[in-house]
Structure 1
């Protein structure tokens, strides 16, 4: 596992941000890790530096950096541009490339039906991420099933609205949760 994985898990709630206002709130929160879910090639460097200046881990959703392609070279470009601590991606090839470049990796998976649940094992084997983020994160039964099928720690993300949702995900086996709800960042 990546050396920064323990830091990410020190606090079970991860701030997920899409706007400058949300980033300002996350920087002031007790969360040690920030998932950057929206940026462009022109803004990502400044955003990552703000996160690092606050002493927090910056994990960039590479698929959502406007201006980057979905090819492996995008990982090298992002790393050279802003030196994030890690990346999030739905693409196993980008996860694998980032892992080889020494970045913390989070494979994001949307569990929509039994086919997406079944195909997840193959995707995790291909990319070998440090974490798998399951969306939506309000599915305790599915979180429990995935947690028993893989050794990859599970992050529950998406649609978590209150402490009960967070606790249900954690009881089901999630190692952490990512949420864009500032009211949950200090749990």
Structure 2
């Protein structure tokens, strides 16, 4: 499944990131193959993922944003055994590690706010804990270039991607794909 995920990122470098049911319905009608789920709760996440899988798309659930899931490793187990999700997104290394052990695709999300956070991101990427990394905000092209040269797995740029120029710049800087909740970006 990981190779299929990598291929999907290369073939459709705009990841549809959905934050509500309206966005989900729109994402299901796009050609894009990967859907990042950024909403839901423990009572509806299985149904959300089923809708994505019914359209033959790859479902990656941001476990930190699912209401009712905690910040412990059990969140990865819940997704693995209670949904059809292909993988998870998390900012928490312990959840990424647990999900990887369970055979889920792992996307570690980082928020870059200063030089200290950048040093931590470099440390995690060099250690190779996740299957891919997402850095936010996505408009930091010099940083994306540097991180893509370090990473041996796909790098996704997300956050504050607002137009075609941002998409092209992030991809040109070395990102494999971008993620966006902006539906106008999904069809570029």
Q: Distance in 1 between matches of 2:146 and 2:36?
A: 25
| Equivalent residue, structure 1, for 2:183 | 182
Deviation at 1:127, TM superposition (A): 6.3
| Equivalent residue, structure 2, for 1:2 | 2
The equivalences for 1:81-96 within 5 A come to 81-96=82-97
RMSD: 1.4
| Equivalent residue, structure 2, for 1:72 | 73
Q: Distance in 1 between matches of 2:152 and 2:130?
A: 10
Q: Distance in 1 between matches of 2:127 and 2:44?
A: 30
Q: Secondary structure of the residue that 1:79 maps to in structure 2? A: helix
Q: Distance in 2 between matches of 1:37 and 1:163?
A: 22
Aligned length in residues: 187
| Equivalent residue, structure 2, for 1:13 | 14
| Equivalent residue, structure 2, for 1:61 | 62
Give the gaps of 5 or more residues in structure 1: none
Q: Secondary structure of the residue that 2:174 maps to in structure 1? A: coil
Q: If the length of structure 2 is used for normalisation, what is the TM-score?
A: 0.94
Residues 91, 124 of structure 1: alpha-carbon distance in 2 compared, 3 angstrom cutoff:
farther
Deviation at 1:83, TM superposition (A): 2.3
Q: If the length of structure 1 is used for normalisation, what is the TM-score?
A: 0.95
8 Å contact kept, 2:60–2:85? yes
